[in-house]
Amino acid sequence: MSQSEFEREAKLAMAVKLFETGRLSSSQAAELAGLARVEFLFELKRFGVSPIQTTAEELHEDIANAEKAAGRC
């Protein structure tokens, strides 16, 4: 691996980790990695990271809010 390839891979790994931990958005992480957002999202699979970073609690909140909103219609 050349030095430039290593640097690119290291930037990508750092961006993925910061995205995974919620420190950066996918757009910010993509910019850090020097990729388009869509390219970055596809690269997440190589690292075993889901592009959807939602906790179970957030999902339950979303469902409850949707049910409340549906009841108002």
Would you state the structure tokens that stand for residue 10, as one six-digit string?
């290291």
Report pTM.
Answer: 0.75
Which pLDDT score, from 0 to 100, does residue 55 have?
Answer: 81
**Annotated domain spans of the chain:** 3-72
Taking only the tens place, the pLDDT of each residue in 3-15 is 999 999 999 999 9
Work out whether the CA dihedral 29, 31, 35, 39 comes out positive or negative. Answer: positive
- Does an H or E element contain 54, and which? none
Taking only the tens place, the pLDDT of each residue in 31-65 is 999 999 999 999 999 999 999 888 888 888 989 99
Cβ neighbours, 10 Å, residue 64: 10
Contact yes or no for 43/49 (Cβ under 8 A) = no
